[in-house]
Structure 1
């Protein structure tokens, strides 16, 4: 069996009791794949250094999985991570070209750090290894490794959306970036919509021969296969959180504090792609339309801070605080507030309990590669009294959880009217319909899990390049 070399911007470095939990199910699935196949996980340590030396920090976990990390200089992080990755590619890939910054130094830093990654990981790659690179931070890495003589099977998975061609061409040197991606043998996307956008670009802008049935892209004598691999959650691991005292306490805390009102919950990283201001506008519209129902519903928004040193993220936080304050100021009574805005993170156990207590899950990204909160919400529900999932049709999870119109309630997150209308439908939905919708969704959440996603990608990588 071929070894597996996983390369990502950040690495879940093993701790004394196993893999660090910050990256959740993905870290667990990749850790399991590395354990089964042998190999190494390589990436940035999360630490800064005054001078890059190329020295590698090795950590070996109790189950034999090795991580290898490098430290990066401050300038590298500013240009590669805060700059090109998160101020250029991230907004562009989420259709926000108005927020994308096209700075020459950002691009130079991005390519420089990908070269550093290639130089550092090169000695770790052995003949016969399968190499699996992750996400938008490292799109040129396949080309960097090929130029250094690596002939191994190499795959790449993009965790974000891929934008339509007419948006992507706004990126300077967009052809060079995509040509570097085509040095991988296998490209994975979260859903068919993002895959179709990529295939269209390759056909229209590069003149590649594209087979839409197989995902085969032929260009300049080389071939790459591109396919959709919808990522899932670690269903068994997450479901086990419901048996913990921490989860039960969190559930009871929320239930007792709502005073017989229906709890509606949103859990999102503080990011403009998540549609949080638009979500609050929809809730405000609901209360404007049905003012008497302020005593029926309480909305809890959990939004941990994210990328706080980037200006657009500071703006989104200020906007949310203002909108939440305006709604509460207009609708609060001495004994209730309609919105609870929580600007900090919570453990998986606590989130399980909060999801379980909430009878409506509100997941309304303007654009999302997949969105695993939607799947976690479904996984945490009581089969005998499940909640209702309201989901943006622009999330990658929507095709799976729509269930032919019998699963999640799909909404347009840009429309306050649509959000308000579906909140009323969810609030008044009878038990039998809630159970029927839950039973449709839980099948895909349980079966299309992160382990299956990992196994499918690795199996296809061996096949397409075999």
Structure 2
């Protein structure tokens, strides 16, 4: 079997063997690499000031070789904070109003991808399978091809892919599309994202879909495309939750809510997550259902994110102020309606909190997949499962048909879904949960990885 080489923007190296990453992309990639062995290359998260780093930091952990490089201050500002997170991220999340395009940042984005390619090149073998991840590194395959590499190279996008009207508002959309054409397989979370990509090629007149939409032809290349919904290590996470239910902190949380029904939301602080709309929906739920005053507790866990970007700093203040306003308006001497935690919580502890919660509130305005939804389902007690309230604009909504689907912009509709979830019969809760859990056990992280690599390596 050919060696697997994974490239992503950030690389989280475990402090010791067996450590579990915080979640998301890190969980998925560590699981894939531990099974197959290989290299994980990317940015260390550190800055080298104004001097370009010469050496890579190579570390061995089990079957994984971690290859990390620093970036200069200019690289971080232009490539990461600039083009990646102030152009690509908002556009892919349908937020043209927040995209701030600048030629300097665009040049930095392509320059850092070229830098990554030159750092990766000495580590590669002729038969390596290269798997590039996410919007930060779209041009990487083109850089490697220019250097003469003919390896199989796959790309997976962990965020949504927008329709043509949104994408083509970006001044450098042609360079981005041309970069994707250099991969052998381009993977998306859902069939909707795949259709947006193929539809854009056809509509712009720069390509066509072949073989029922599973292949594309553009810029003189033919390559494959597919939908590969990322998942979690379902069985292991379920065991986390059972074990965590005995955790001291989980026991304290259970005692502190004093028999109230727990509603939980867990999101990175980002405007795409719909946190302010969710708080509005919770407030509306209480106002429409006054009998639930002092009977529910809403825990919102929201670690800080990209605080160097002004939009995120402003959002942090907005969410904290909104939670404070609702608590001031609805709270009582012995009841704080919203508990707002603005820091990370260890994943095993989160599993216990998910299991404790009667409602999992996952209502992004737009999301590629959202693994929190899948973790919440996997963490439930089969004999008394909670209810997942899920945005129809999350990729997970294409799979988790047992959830209560909501439009996060419809505040009253989301409030009604919360009420329905809290009053749902045990039989219906079990039926809905079993349907979702059966799916997640079959389509777990290993299935995701196997399906993508099978299609990448197939002739």
Q: Same fold (TM over 0.5)?
A: yes
| Correspondences of 1:218-297 after superposition (within 5 Å) | 218-244=217-243, 248-297=247-296
2: distance between equivalents of 1:365 and 1:243? Answer: 27
Q: 1:224 to 1:203 in 2, by over 3 A?
A: same
Shift of 1:301: 0.6
Contact 2:11 2:68 in 1 (8 A): yes
Deviation at 1:441, TM superposition (A): 0.9
When the two structures are superposed, what TM-score results if normalisation uses the length of structure 2? 0.96
Partner SS, residue 317 of structure 2: helix
Q: Which runs of 5+ in 2 are unaligned?
A: none
Q: Distance in 2 between matches of 1:3 and 1:208?
A: 32
**Equivalent residue, structure 2, for 1:3:** 3
State the match for 1:459 in structure 2: 454
Cα gap change, 1:247 to 1:115, in 2 (>3 Å): farther
**Which residue number in structure 1 is paired with residue 57 of structure 2?**
57
The 5 Å alignment of 1:297-336 reads 297-336=296-335
**8 Å contact 2:24–2:371 — kept in the other structure?**
no
* Structure 1 residue aligned with 2:409: 414
| 1:45-444 → structure 2 map (5 Å cutoff) | 45-50=44-49, 51-61=51-61, 63-211=62-210, 213-244=212-243, 248-402=247-401, 407-444=402-439
Shift of 1:215: 1.7
Counterpart Cα distance in 2 of 1:26 and 1:172: 28
Mean CA deviation greater in 50-59 or 371-380 = 50-59
Deviation of 1:166 (Å): 0.2
Report the more deviating stretch, 347-356 or 283-292: 283-292
8 Å CA contact 2:241–2:380 kept in 1: the answer is: no
Map Cα deviations across residues 51-90 of structure 1 (whole Å, 9 max, x no partner): 11332111111x2321111111011000000111111111
SS in 2 for 1:217: strand
Structure 2 distance, partners of 1:45, 1:282, is 39
Alignment size in residue pairs:
458
Structure 1: distance between partners of 2:2 and 2:365? 40
Deviations 1:363-411 (A, max 9, x none): 0000000000001101111111110000000000001002xxxx10000
Change (3 A) 1:397 1:212: farther
Give CA deviations for 1:315-367 in whole Å, capped at 9, x if unaligned.
11111112111111111111111111111111112101111111011000000
Cα distance, 1:343–1:140 mapped onto 2, change above 3 Å: same
> Aligned to 2:263, what secondary structure does the other structure show?
strand
Q: CA RMSD in A?
A: 1.6
Q: Supply the distance in 2 between the matched residues of 1:239 and 1:14 (Cα, whole angstroms).
A: 22
**Does structure 1 retain, via aligned residues, the 8 Å contact 2:38–2:63?**
no
Q: 1: CA distance between counterparts of 2:2 and 2:449?
A: 15
Cα distance in 2 for partners of 1:292, 1:32 equals: 45
What does the per-residue CA deviation read over 1:26-70, in whole Å, with 9 as the maximum and x for residues that have no partner?
A: 445534543554431111111111311332111111x23211111
